[in-house]
Amino acid sequence: MKIVILDWDTMTSGGDISPEKFNRLGDVTVYGLTSPEQTAERIADADAVLCNKVLITGEIMDKCPNLKYIGLFATGFNNIDVDAAAARNITVCNSGRYSTNAVAQQVFAYILDHYSRIRQYDDAVRRGEWTSSPTFSYFPFPTGEIAGKTIAIVGYGSIGSRVAQLASAFGMEVIVCSRTYHDDLPYEQTDLISAASRADILTVHCPLTAETKGLADAKLFGAMKSSAVFINTSRGPVVNENDLAFALRSGSIAAAYTDVLSSEPMPEDHPLKGIDNCIITPHTAWAAYETRVRLNSIVYDCLEAWSKGSPINKVN
């Protein structure tokens, strides 16, 4: 079996993870990154292609007559035309539940950053402000306890439910907004606007679909408290970024933390760039070393299962 990996550089930091294990399943060719113009040529005679974010359309599939399998180093599969793949008997498999712990951890890194002000106090100490303080304790930046705060969780899949568990451990009040009603949910479930109006923190964990695109918009931000924090670690297009920028600049909400944008890498003219109360990380929530090792193993297991005639994580 001829296997082509199109964007291995999205999986490794300084070579800390190797694609070598895929050699057990066939003849492997690895590319660090692949441009749209290179895709068809590079997988022209491949039986299986593995990628993270490379776009594979029906037109590309038509140029690859041997292609039978597309495996994703990701949960989302919007970069693959799954209907075109199904029509051509090409199996598409994604990788679910690999990043639950890492993403939930980053959500709380954001929350703790906002309420404990670690960055601001470290900067103040480095500037010498503590050494010149007349009192032993120097606290010009207001801090707060997260115990007792209300966190609204939009989307109750593996990550959303893990965030809820951690929030409960911190003594927070948890409310959930989900497209699916859960009879056994240990938390209050309500609609989106009601959740937003009560939240001290609103964190988004839903997939990107036609229904969720632009979900976080002016109406949502207008319903939130002026002291509230908005967090997005799902997908960039879930948020209307112009509306978020306006909400932050106008003081409609206190702060936003986002790990994802509608266009990545971040363009120079992005509406959220340079806003003081908007903290942006470059799509790192999923990227913990342990998470990437787990993801690599899931992709391998999916390809091996398909090669044996019993595909898992099939999305088409």
Annotated active-site residue in 88, 97, 270, 283: 283
Residue 157: half-sphere exposure toward Cβ, Cα within 13 Å: 15
Catalytic (active site) residue 235:
yes
Catalytic (active site) residue 292:
no
For residue 215, give the 3-state DSSP assignment. Answer: coil
Annotated active-site residue in 145, 211, 264, 290: 264
φ, ψ dihedrals at 266, nearest 5°: -65, 125
Torsion, CA 101, CA 195, CA 224, CA 118, rounded to 10:
-30
- Whole-angstrom Cα distance, residue 13 to residue 37? 25
Sheet holding 201-204, edge to edge: 188-189, 173-177, 150-154, 201-204, 229-232, 255-258, 278-280
- Whole-angstrom Cα distance, residue 97 to residue 239? 23
∠ CA 56-57-62, rounded to 5°: 105
Catalytic (active site) residue 264:
yes
Torsion, CA 66, CA 68, CA 69, CA 70, rounded to 10:
60
Report which DSSP code applies to 73: S
Annotated active-site residue in 162, 235, 292, 294: 235
Distances from the Cα of 33 to the Cα of 3, 30, 38, 105, 293, angstroms:
15, 9, 10, 28, 19
- Whole-angstrom Cα distance, residue 71 to residue 159? 22
Please identify every residue annotated as catalytic.
Answer: 235, 264, 283
